[in-house]
Amino acid sequence: MSNQQNEAREAVREAKKAYDQARSTFFEAIKKALAVGVGPSDLSRDSGFTREYIAKIRDGKGPKGV
């Protein structure tokens, strides 16, 4: 494998790590907002998720590992 290919693969791995961290931060922010009384409709508008998906996050049935 060439050096350029190795660098490209490393860039993908680093981007994946950043994505996973940002995703985790995003879902934690949603959970915190729910905990202080922000409603699913407001969070739906803010996040781009449906109210139903926000309710799943609230109920612990959202994405795994987040």
pLDDT tens digits along 24-37 = 999 999 999 999 99
Neighbours of 18 (CB within 10 A): 10
Neighbours of 40 (CB within 10 A): 21
Which residues, including other chains, have CB under 8 Å from residue 24's CB and lie 6 or more apart?
66
14 close to 8: Cβ distance less than 8 angstroms? no
Question: Taking residues 41-56, what's their average pLDDT?
Answer: 96
Question: Taking residues 4-28, what's their average pLDDT?
Answer: 97
- Give the predicted TM-score (pTM) of the model: 0.83
Per-residue CA distances from 38 to 5, 6, 14, 32, 35 (Å): 46, 45, 33, 9, 7
